[in-house]
């Protein structure tokens, strides 16, 4: 469904005009020398410019008011320009919008959706001879446009299998968690969970990082059956809040993904991981260190938790779960 609200367009063009008038760009908030900060962001959400229920400024305001630092509006096959919104929010409220789009291709009725971050114009979806060919062509188109691609909800309509995902070139990000209620994060019926899919790709030697997102469409109606905001996000460690700094951190894996667990300290070592958890009162935590083939290398309730690769172990990643069911995913470290 593609909604085009007249009111939303009026608000959108007013904001764009405001940006031109002020000639403002989002200022980078640079950390003190030698110090990097955590920035919270959502990389997948929708407005009335595709199939969301709210105008771009209302969506941006929700995230700003809920203490996010950055946001990507990813409407289907439509670039929702962020300049006006950045002029409205950034100078006063230290909030960054990064341009994006959900490039929405199909192959044999299987939805092949790839997000494009930091692009300058709409990218038309491309078809292919197979699922792999379709994914690859759209990833390549995003890279050629100067953007950063991320594969969305692979288990939505069971569209992309691990054997296909592990063969994609130029892809560094995929959604290990998506907050939409119908995307089959946990697999079932002979289909892998997104966690299992991630390990299949990493075991094949592909350095791919897992993100958590909202994929929010519904801001006016709340409930578990709706795709509401606030369900999945990334915490990026960077020297400043700027588009370049955020995307560089994502490209090199300097972030973790979360549905509610907060980490205070995260060391991605040359040969392992060290994880410090920001504990909440009366909540218990378990850290699982996971290796090739999805093998559980270690499980601990220690805080901080640490694991160092042993000879013959190609990588380690971590998943932290709390006693209320929230999770955080830590990016893999590979043996060198």
Of 43, 75, 287, which is closest to residue 175 (Cα–Cα)?
A: 43
> For residues 211 and 40, is the Cβ–Cβ distance under 8 A?
no
Q: How far apart are CA 323 and CA 336, in angstroms?
A: 35
Please, which residues have CB within 8 angstroms of residue 34's CB and are 6 or more apart in sequence? none
Q: Is the pLDDT of residue 4 over 60?
A: no
Encode pLDDT of 287-300 as tens digits.
999 999 999 999 99
Domains and CATH numbers, the chain: 6-259 (3.20.20.140)
Residue range 58-87: average pLDDT? 94
Q: Tell me whether strands 173-178 and 209-213 are parallel, antiparallel or unpaired.
A: parallel
* pLDDT (0 to 100) of residue 285: 98
Model's pTM, two decimal places? Answer: 0.89
- pLDDT grade, residue 88 (50/70/90)? confident
∠ CA(266), CA(269), CA(271), 5° rounding?
Answer: 140
Please report, for residues 145, 244, 288, the alpha-carbon distance to residue 26 in angstroms, rounded to integers and kept in the order given.
Answer: 22, 12, 38
Encode pLDDT of 175-195 as tens digits.
999 999 999 999 999 999 999
* Torsion angle (degrees, nearest 10) of CA 163, 169, 172, 173: -50
Q: How far apart are CA 327 and CA 321, in angstroms?
A: 4
């Amino acid at each position: 469904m593609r909604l085009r609200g007249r009111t939303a367009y009026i608000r959108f063009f007013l904001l764009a005009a405001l940006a031109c008038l002020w000639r403002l760009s989002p200022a980078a908030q640079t950390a003190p020398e030698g110090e990097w900060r955590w920035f919270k962001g959502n990389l997948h959400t929708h407005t009335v410019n595709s199939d969301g229920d709210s105008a771009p400024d209302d969506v941006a305001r929700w995230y700003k008011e809920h203490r996010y630092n950055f946001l990507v509006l990813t409407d289907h096959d439509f670039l929702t320009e962020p300049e006006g919104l950045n002029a409205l929010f950034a100078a006063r409220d230290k909030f960054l919008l990064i341009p994006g789009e959900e490039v929405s291709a199909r192959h044999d009725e299987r939805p092949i959706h790839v997000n494009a971050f930091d692009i300058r114009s709409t990218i038309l979806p491309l078809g292919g001879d197979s699922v792999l060919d379709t994914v690859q062509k759209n990833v390549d188109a995003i890279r050629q446009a100067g953007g950063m691609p991320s594969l969305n909800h692979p288990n939505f309509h069971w569209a992309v299998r691990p054997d296909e995902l592990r063969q994609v070139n130029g892809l560094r990000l995929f959604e290990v968690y998506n907050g939409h209620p119908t995307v089959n994060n946990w697999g079932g019926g002979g289909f892998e969970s997104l966690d299992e899919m991630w390990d299949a790709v990493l075991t094949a030697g592909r350095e791919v990082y897992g993100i958590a997102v909202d994929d929010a469409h519904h801001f006016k109606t709340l409930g578990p059956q709706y795709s509401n905001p606030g369900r999945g996000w990334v915490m990026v460690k960077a020297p400043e809040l700027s588009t370049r700094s955020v995307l560089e951190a994502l490209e090199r894996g300097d972030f973790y993904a979360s549905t509610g667990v907060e980490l205070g300290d995260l060391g991605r070592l040359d040969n392992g991981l060290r994880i410090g958890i920001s504990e909440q009162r009366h909540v218990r935590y378990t850290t699982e260190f996971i290796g090739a083939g999805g093998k559980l290398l270690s499980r601990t309730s220690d805080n901080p938790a640490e694991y160092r690769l042993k000879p013959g172990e190609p990588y380690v990643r971590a998943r932290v779960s709390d006693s209320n069911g929230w999770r955080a995913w830590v990016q893999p470290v590979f043996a060198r």
